[in-house]
Structure 1
Amino acid sequence: MELVVARIGRAHGIKGEVTVEVRTDEPELRLSPGAVLRTEPASAGPLTIEAGRVHSSRLLLRFEGVKDRTAAEALRNTLLIADVDPAELPEEEDEYYDHQLMDLDVVLEDGTEIGRITEISHLPSQDLFIVERPDGTEVMIPFVEEIVAEIDLEEQRCVITPPPGLIDDRAEIASARDAEAAEPAEKTEGEKSGDDA
């Protein structure tokens, strides 16, 4: 099975290093020196990682044969793809690979359908599920213990307990607040005109 493990960003310095947007929970395994990765577009690769280091909380990689800034910049936005055995599981019990979570049905504890996971965004602070609702809109669900109550791979579902406002229609909440805020303002104007009379 093919998995996108990173996207190449800007060139860093003049010796061929690039920043990468990591898309795997196991960068030390997938993006270690010696790893050979296919690319999208295919014409950019395959690429062999020569060295890697963390700089200002960003992962920097250098590939064999990429020796200067011009060659590094030419790789910008290239996706790095690893071959992974579909039966392979992460070492930790409550960890999952992205491909295991993709297309899971997202439901509330009472069974109410929210949508399905179409993308997983790996941010520095936490991971986010991008969930497509039945009407085609998207909602972002933080992949944290307080919100994601259960991942059931056999049933292909993700049970969530979202806090108020996370999946509600925010427009309605905002308009209700606006209406409440407007009422006292109208009263004040009425009181002022009463004083003038």
Structure 2
Amino acid sequence: MAKADWMYDSPELLTYYQTEWGQPEHDDQRLFELLCSELYQAGLSWRTVLNKRAAFRKAFKNYNIRKVAQMTSEDIEQLMVNPMIIRNRAKLNATINNAQAVLNVQASEGSFDRYLWGFVDGQQIVNHPKTWTEVPTESALSLRISKDLKQRGFKFVGPVIIYSFLQVIGIVDDHLRPQ
């Protein structure tokens, strides 16, 4: 599917684009869930991830950060046979690892929200491009955040995934301008 057409692939995606994507998010648990969703999406379509969102929420204890951080290799083995989720061991392990990393960020920065929004002094970056060709896949900001997250032990947080994450949590608003 072309980059320009992703939100028209299904009614669910269009609703997601219109009501969730790009809306400023400040709840740590929701930020963690959205980061996980972005890492699940790597190499797959967003529609696949969106269709499995309820199953992922159940599998990962509604993204309760503390509970996910305590999950074990036995939990991963159970998830690997769950046909309702994306059964990629590296991504599942990264979810647990990143929950532990979020807890460390909360301890050092006060909240995951404060840490993330601190990169932009709490101000949303509004681009409103005319076409999808004007939307980058990464930016200086996503490179900087990616590097910092990796130094803090996060996994699956390359600059492309982080740019997409910044879009979904509303730090970067790349909604197309009405023509």
TM-score (structure 2 length as normaliser): 0.19
TM-score (structure 1 length as normaliser): 0.18
Higher helix share: 2
Give the structure with higher Rg (CA). Answer: 1
Query: More relative contact order in 1 or in 2 (CA 8 Å, sep 6+)?
Result: 2
